[in-house]
Every structure is written in structure tokens, then in C-alpha cells.
């Protein structure tokens, strides 16, 4: 019963946050200088006052701000995110179309970084001053200091031009028909460079975190006891110590998800990956307000969900941690 | 301790070099980074352009020298802004506790959930990209980490005896926060501030890369973004500015790490 109450309160908290984000962005977007009708007028080569006024009425831009906000929120609650000014298609459709691409990119990058990072961290914790450890230190600094877009472009030069191993951009080859195993392999082939670029910084960070956590834990009394009991090193490491190494990584992963989405915007732009990030970027340039707001809403929801999931995983991994 | 740390010294030297070039270079060179000086896409180490030219014929070396100013300026001021906001809000939350804390934590959570890059992009586009709007946008989304750190520190110190003593003799809250607790809470905050500079520089580079920075000021990100489509035939226009960003952020991180080791012996990572 208490768990249910907690769950409900968390949901409420999450919803309030998302709502606040949407309201803020709505206000910002509509209170700033210039409006979409002017942009459309500019793009179509000029428009007389009467037509502008008509368009404004059509888009509801002549109503007072709070009314517009109310209308917008009402629509959102019904799942209607409006129509893109640029595409003239429903925003929710645009988002749904591009989510799989971004999902593939982000999940691959983060999962690979998590698995490889934790493994490297655990392995290097056995020899804290060995070459693996030093490599991780260096990689860590590089991963943090190098701009993501720069790394991506260097990788493209190296692995797509000098040694043409991977494709330069896009998600599929031109000749692809979008079906079957061949398509899946094609997409995977295109996925490698972007996912690697996105995940590298996190790989380095997770290695460092898990190594530090392992080193912390390996000195604890209960590990000594386990060893004294005669348990094999493998069991000690993986059954008892590993949970502690994974914990800070999970926390950071969950809390940093916003950064991952930001990284996805940049990586998708560099590699022409047809995902949500690129849609967001292009919409910002085109002042396609409904799309911008839709993507912002979607990202916020994702971040809130990730935060809650992290909390949940947190408590699953470490049963000592009680309520929020 | 800091003075004996080799990588921290390396960091300081690197940063010193970067600052020297960024601040003194333009004075020495006296050129216009946007000016077309040679044939487009001249490779580096040729006699017309030491580091080559980009797809328009702009000198990459001039870009490096002039671009540092915008990047460093925005990075430093935005970091300062985010740290100022973070410390203020975190101090109030940590010191007063109770309802103030709960409310400020809500605000912090809100800014944490806000997709930072996206929001900054929207702000910069709406209010036309200038150095000022970029700085404000970056500062306004980056303060949550510092706030949480400050709050944790203040909560530690709030109940200590010397603080209670100050309260007992009637010191005002403001005095206690700023003159009593904050100086003691400074070490981790200094480290956080240094890292904030690195993040702000990267953030600015990202915005400029996407074309959302000040188009009238040359910055490293701008050069990389502009040359993006020509990266395969003109790699030097991308590689060198990126390397400049990398070196700068690396230098700042090394200094931050060194400060961390020196000021927080207990938190030092093994």
C-alpha cells in the first residue's frame, strides 16, 4: 500500500515537472519577438496584411496568450500535438516516425557504453596502476574534453574516407529497400560510427566510476570474509562486489539522460541520422513552433521516466536503500 | 600539493598558452578571420596559409587565433553565471531547509529535467544569436549541479557548533551564509566551477557548430560547423579548430583535477 502511494506521488511529481516544462517553453516561444506567420511570409516571398491576419486567425495566434496556452494544453492531454508549420503534418506523427531511429542510436550507445564501461572498470580495478587503468584515465580525459561533433567528424575522416570501412552518413544505403535481414545489417553498419561517437564519452566515464566503486568495495570487511570463507575470486568479484560497481554507473546513466539526448542532437546532425535530434534542430531553424514544443515535451517526458526508472533500478540493485 | 602535481602543471601551462594566443594573437596578427586570403581549400603547410584555408578561402590559423576570444569569453562568463546562480540557490536551500529547501529543490529538478541543449537552442534562436544571449542561455541551464553540491555542503555545516555560536550571538542569516559557511564550503565548489568552465566551453562550441552562435564573431565551433559539408576534402578546417577546443577543455579539466586532489584529499579517487 505504501509502495502504491509512493508510486502515485512519483507519477504526480513527474507529471508536474513535464507540465512546467511545456508551459515554460510555450510562453517562451510565443512571447519572443517574431512569429511563425512572419517566417512563413518571408519564406513564401511576401504576403499582404490581410492574408497574414487570416493565417494568424487560422493558427489561433491572435488570441491572448493564456487562452492559447489553455487550448494547447487541452490538445496535448488528448494526444494532439498540433500540426507542423513546415510539413503540414501532425507533430505526433513526425515524432513517432523518427523515434525508432533515435532510440536505436541512443540505446546502442548507452548500453554498449554501460556494458563495456563496467567490464573495463571491473577488470582494471584488479590492477589499479596497470596499463588498462592508465588507458582508462587517458580515455576519460579525452572523452570529456573532446567535442562530440569533432570526434564524430574525425571518425568519419578516418573510418569512412581514409579507410572506407563504414558509411559516411545516413541510416541506410541508397540502394536499400528497407526490408529484411539485409536492411537490418545495413542499418547496423550505418549505426556503428554514430553510436560509437555518442557513447565514447560515457564509456570512459563509466569505466572510471565503476573502477572507483570496485576499489572502494574490494577493501571492505565482507569481501575479506568472503575470501576467507574460501570463495573463488570470480564469485567474490561477480556475486558480491559487482553490484556496488554498477550502482554509481546506473545513477549517473539515469540522471545524465538529458545530456545523452543533447549529444544525440549533435551526433544526428553530423551523421545525417534521421532521428528526433535532427528534427529538433531543423525545426528550431525553421521556427516550426509546434514541432519544437512537441519534441521538447517528448524529451522531458523521457527524462522524467528515466529518472524514475533509475530510482527503481537503484533500489533493486541495492536493497539497503529505502524510500525516496 | 597542487604545485607538485605534474598533470595540473601541464594543464596550467596549456591554458596559459591558449590564453596568450587568444588574447595576444589578434593584436599581433591584425587580420580579419573572415577575410578570404588564399585559394579555397588550400592544404596546410603551404606557403599561402600555414594551417590551410577552408572552403571559402579563409585562413584557418586566423580562425584559431581569433576564435579563442569568443569561445573563452562565453565559456568563462557563462560558467560564472551558472556557478553564481547555483551557489545562491544551493546555499539558501541548504541553510534554511524546510519549505524553502523543498521549493528550491523543485526548481532545481525542473531545470534538470529541461533538455538543456534544446532549450538553449530555442532561447538563442528566439532572441537572435549574440554573445550575450548565448552566454545567458548556457548559464541558465547549467547551474543545477553546483546548486546540489552547495546545498549538500551547507547542510553539513548548518548544524556545526561554530555556526550555532554565530547564530547565538545574533549574526544575521546573510552574514552566516556568505561570511561564515561559504568560505568553508569553498573547496568542492571551486572544483565544480572549474569543471563548469569546461562544460560551458563545450556547450558554446556545440551551439556555434549548429550555427546558433554569434555569426559575426569567429569561434572555433563556427568554423567546424561551417566546414562540415567539406570535411572529406578539407579536413584541416575541422581538425585544427576542434583540436583547439580539445586542448582548452583538457587544460581546464587537468587544472580542475589538480585542484580536486589538492583541496579534497578525502574525496580523491584512488
Compare all CA atoms of chain B with the CA of A280 and give the residue at the minimum distance: B118
Q: How far apart are CA A44 and CA A37, in angstroms?
A: 10
Residues A144, B198: C-beta atoms closer than 8 Å: yes
pLDDT in tens, B135-193: 999 999 999 889 988 998 888 888 888 888 888 888 888 888 888 888 888 888 888 89
- Region of A79 on the Ramachandran plot (φ > 0 left; ψ -120 to 50 alpha; else beta): left
Calculate the average pLDDT of chain A.
81
Residues A157, B235: C-beta atoms closer than 8 Å: yes
CB pairs under 8 A between A and B: 138
Measured between beta carbons, the chain B residues lying within 8 angstroms of A154 are 238-239, 242
* Count of residues making up chain A: 324
B230 lies within 8 A of chain A by CB: no
B210 lies within 8 A of chain A by CB: yes
pLDDT score for A215? 80
Q: Indicate if the pLDDT at residue B130 is higher than 60.
A: yes
**Smallest Cα distance from B178 to chain A, Å:** 30
Q: Indicate if the pLDDT at residue A36 is higher than 80.
A: no
For the ranges A34-48, A172-186, A252-266, A272-286, the lowest mean pLDDT is seen at A34-48
Measured between beta carbons, the chain B residues lying within 8 angstroms of A21 are 110, 113-114
- Axis crossing angle, helix B60-96 with helix B6-29, rounded to the nearest 10: 130
pLDDT in tens, A150-209: 988 888 888 888 787 788 888 877 777 767 788 888 888 888 888 999 998 888 888 888
Between A144 and A243, residue with greater pLDDT: A144
What ipTM was estimated for this complex? 0.84
**Smallest Cα distance from A210 to chain B, Å:** 11
Instruction: Label each residue of chain A as H, E or C.
Output: CHHHHHHHHHHHHHHHHHHHHHHHHHHHHHHCCCCHHHHHHHHCCCCCHHHHHHHHHHHCCCCCHHHHHHHHHHHHHCCCCCECCCCCCEHHHHHHHHHHHHHHHHHHHHHHHHHHHHHHHHHHHCCCCCHHHHHHHHHHHHHHHCCHHHHHHHHHHHHHHHCCCCCCCCCCCCCCCCCHHHHHHHHHHHHHHHHHHHHHHHHHHHHHHHHHHHHHHHCCHHHHHHHHCCCCHHHHHHHHHHHHHHHHHHHHHHHCHHHHHHHHHHHHHHHCCCCHHHHHHHHHHHCCHHHHHHHHHHHHHHHHHHHHHHHHHHHHHCCCCCCC
In DSSP terms, A90 is beta-bridged to: A83
CB B227 within 8 A of CB B55: yes
| C-alpha closest to that of B71 among B247, B260, B256 | B247
pLDDT score for A108? 92
Span A136-162, average pLDDT: 86
Most confident of A239-243, B24-28, B206-210: B206-210
Calculate the average pLDDT of chain B.
85
pLDDT band at residue B246 using 50, 70 and 90 as cut-offs: very high
pLDDT band at residue B270 using 50, 70 and 90 as cut-offs: very low
Residues A149, B212: C-beta atoms closer than 8 Å: no
pLDDT score for A109? 93
Q: pLDDT exceeding 90 applies to what percent of chain B?
A: 17
CB A153 within 8 A of CB B224: yes
B162 lies within 8 A of chain A by CB: no
Q: Indicate if the pLDDT at residue A256 is higher than 70.
A: yes
Q: Indicate if the pLDDT at residue A310 is higher than 70.
A: yes
Measured between beta carbons, the chain B residues lying within 8 angstroms of A261 are 115, 117-118
Residues 6+ apart with CB under 8 A from A267: A105, A148, A149, A152, A194, A197, A198, A273, A277
- For residue A141, give the nearest of B113, B115, B250 by CB distance: B250
Span B16-42, average pLDDT: 78
Span A241-264, average pLDDT: 80
pLDDT score for A126? 78
Handedness of CA A18, A20, A21, A22 (dihedral sign): positive
Please report how many Cα atoms fall inside a 13 Å half-sphere around the Cα of residue A216, on the Cβ side. 17
CB B125 within 8 A of CB B117: no
DSSP code, position B178: I
Residues A147, B210: C-beta atoms closer than 8 Å: no
- For residue B246, give the nearest of A25, A145, A216 by CB distance: A145
Q: pLDDT exceeding 70 applies to what percent of chain B?
A: 96
Tell me whether residue B107 is exposed, middle or buried, using C-beta atoms within 10 angstroms of its C-beta: 0 to 12, 13 to 18, 19 or more.
middle
Measured between beta carbons, the chain B residues lying within 8 angstroms of A158 are none
pLDDT in tens, B65-78: 888 888 889 999 99
Q: Indicate if the pLDDT at residue B46 is higher than 80.
A: no
pLDDT score for A294? 85
Q: How far apart are CA B148 and CA B130, in angstroms?
A: 30
pLDDT score for A324? 44
A-contacting residues of B 95-124, CB under 8 Å? 109-110, 112-119, 121-123
- Axis crossing angle, helix B182-209 with helix B236-263, rounded to the nearest 10: 170
Q: Indicate if the pLDDT at residue B53 is higher than 60.
A: yes
Measured between beta carbons, the chain B residues lying within 8 angstroms of A296 are 115, 118-119, 122
Compare all CA atoms of chain B with the CA of A26 and give the residue at the minimum distance: B122
A23 lies within 8 A of chain B by CB: no
Measured between beta carbons, the chain A residues lying within 8 angstroms of B127 are 32-33
Q: Indicate if the pLDDT at residue A35 is higher than 80.
A: no
Residues A33, B232: C-beta atoms closer than 8 Å: no
B191 lies within 8 A of chain A by CB: no
- For residue A262, give the nearest of B115, B198, B228 by CB distance: B115
For the ranges A98-102, A155-159, B31-35, the lowest mean pLDDT is seen at B31-35
B226 lies within 8 A of chain A by CB: no
Residues B117, A266: C-beta atoms closer than 8 Å: yes
B245 lies within 8 A of chain A by CB: yes
pLDDT band at residue A32 using 50, 70 and 90 as cut-offs: low
pLDDT score for B86? 93
End-to-end CA distance of chain A: 15
**Smallest Cα distance from A170 to chain B, Å:** 14
A128 lies within 8 A of chain B by CB: yes
| C-alpha closest to that of A140 among A206, A200, A86, A205 | A205
- For residue B113, give the nearest of A21, A147, A212 by CB distance: A21
A112 lies within 8 A of chain B by CB: no
B130 lies within 8 A of chain A by CB: no
Between A283 and A175, residue with greater pLDDT: A283
DSSP-based three-state secondary structure for B212:
coil
Distance between alpha carbon A54 and the CA centroid of its chain, in Å? Answer: 39
A291 lies within 8 A of chain B by CB: no
Span B32-58, average pLDDT: 78
Compare all CA atoms of chain A with the CA of B249 and give the residue at the minimum distance: A145
pLDDT score for A39? 67
pLDDT in tens, A223-235: 778 778 877 777 7
Amino acid at each position: 500500500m505504501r509502495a502504491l502511494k509512493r508510486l502515485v506521488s512519483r507519477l504526480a511529481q513527474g507529471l508536474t515537472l513535464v507540465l512546467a516544462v511545456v508551459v515554460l517553453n510555450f510562453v517562451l516561444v510565443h512571447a519572443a519577438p517574431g512569429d511563425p506567420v512572419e517566417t512563413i511570409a518571408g519564406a513564401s516571398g511576401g504576403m499582404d496584411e490581410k492574408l497574414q491576419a487570416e493565417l494568424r486567425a487560422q493558427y489561433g495566434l491572435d488570441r491572448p496568450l493564456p487562452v492559447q496556452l489553455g487550448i494547447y494544453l487541452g490538445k496535448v492531454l488528448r494526444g494532439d500535438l498540433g500540426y507542423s508549420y513546415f510539413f503540414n503534418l501532425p507533430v505526433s506523427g513526425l515524432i513517432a516516425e523518427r523515434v525508432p531511429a533515435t532510440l536505436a542510436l541512443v540505446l546502442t550507445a548507452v548500453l554498449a557504453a554501460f556494458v563495456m564501461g563496467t567490464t573495463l572498470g571491473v577488470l582494471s580495478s584488479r590492477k589499479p596502476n596497470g596499463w588498462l587503468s592508465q588507458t582508462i584515465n587517458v580515455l576519460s580525459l579525452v572523452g570529456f574534453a573532446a567535442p562530440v561533433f569533432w570526434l564524430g567528424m574525425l571518425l568519419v575522416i578516418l573510418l569512412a574516407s581514409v579507410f572506407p570501412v563504414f558509411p559516411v552518413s545516413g541510416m541506410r544505403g541508397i540502394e536499400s529497400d528497407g526490408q529484411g535481414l539485409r536492411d537490418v545489417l545495413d542499418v547496423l553498419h550505418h549505426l556503428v560510427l554514430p553510436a560509437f561517437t555518442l557513447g565514447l564519452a560515457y564509456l570512459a566515464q563509466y569505466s572510471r566510476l565503476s573502477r572507483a566503486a570496485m576499489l572502494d568495495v574490494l577493501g571492505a570487511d565482507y569481501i575479506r570474509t568472503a575470501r576467507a570463507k574460501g570463495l573463488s575470486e570470480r564469485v567474490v568479484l561477480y556475486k558480491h562486489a559487482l553490484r556496488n560497481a554498477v550502482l554509481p554507473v546506473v545513477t549517473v546513466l539515469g540522471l545524465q539522460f538529458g545530456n545523452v539526448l543533447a549529444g544525440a542532437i549533435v551526433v544526428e546532425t553530423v551523421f545525417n541520422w534521421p532521428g528526433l535530434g535532427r528534427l529538433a534542430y531543423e525545426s528550431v531553424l525553421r521556427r516550426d513552433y509546434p514541432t519544437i514544443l512537441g519534441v521538447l515535451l517528448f524529451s522531458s517526458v523521457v527524462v522524467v521516466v528515466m529518472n524514475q526508472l533509475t530510482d527503481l533500478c537503484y533500489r533493486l540493485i541495492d536493497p539497503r536503500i529505502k524510500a525516496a | 600539493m597542487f604545485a607538485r602535481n605534474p598533470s595540473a602543471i601541464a594543464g596550467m601551462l596549456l591554458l596559459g598558452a591558449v590564453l596568450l594566443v587568444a588574447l595576444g594573437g589578434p593584436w599581433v596578427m591584425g587580420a580579419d578571420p573572415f577575410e578570404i586570403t588564399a585559394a579555397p581549400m588550400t592544404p596546410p603547410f603551404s606557403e599561402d596559409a600555414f594551417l590551410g584555408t577552408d572552403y571559402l578561402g579563409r585562413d584557418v590559423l586566423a580562425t584559431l587565433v581569433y576564435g579563442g576570444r569568443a569561445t573563452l569569453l562565453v565559456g568563462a562568463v557563462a560558467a560564472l553565471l551558472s556557478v553564481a546562480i547555483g551557489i545562491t540557490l544551493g546555499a539558501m536551500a541548504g541553510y534554511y531547509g524546510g519549505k524553502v529547501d523543498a521549493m528550491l529543490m523543485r526548481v532545481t529538478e525542473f531545470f534538470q529535467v529541461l533538455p538543456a541543449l534544446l532549450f538553449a537552442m530555442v532561447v538563442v534562436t528566439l532572441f537572435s544569436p549574440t554573445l550575450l544571449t548565448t552566454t545567458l542561455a548556457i548559464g541558465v541551464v547549467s547551474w543545477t549541479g553546483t546548486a546540489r553540491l552547495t546545498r549538500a555542503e551547507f547542510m553539513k555545516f548548518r548544524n556545526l557548533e561554530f555556526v550555532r555560536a554565530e547564530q547565538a550571538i545574533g549574526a544575521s542569516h546573510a552574514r552566516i551564509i556568505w561570511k561564515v559557511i561559504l568560505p568553508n564550503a569553498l573547496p568542492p565548489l571551486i572544483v565544480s566551477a572549474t569543471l563548469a568552465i569546461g562544460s560551458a566551453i563545450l556547450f558554446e562550441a556545440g551551439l556555434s557548430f549548429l550555427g546558433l552562435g554569434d555569426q559575426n564573431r569567429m569561434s572555433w565551433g563556427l568554423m567546424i560547423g561551417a566546414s562540415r559539408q567539406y570535411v572529406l576534402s578539407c579536413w584541416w578546417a575541422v581538425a585544427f579548430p576542434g583540436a583547439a577546443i580539445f586542448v582548452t577543455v583538457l587544460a581546464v579539466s587537468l587544472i580542475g583535477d589538480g585542484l580536486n586532489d589538492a583541496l579534497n584529499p578525502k574525496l580523491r579517487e584512488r
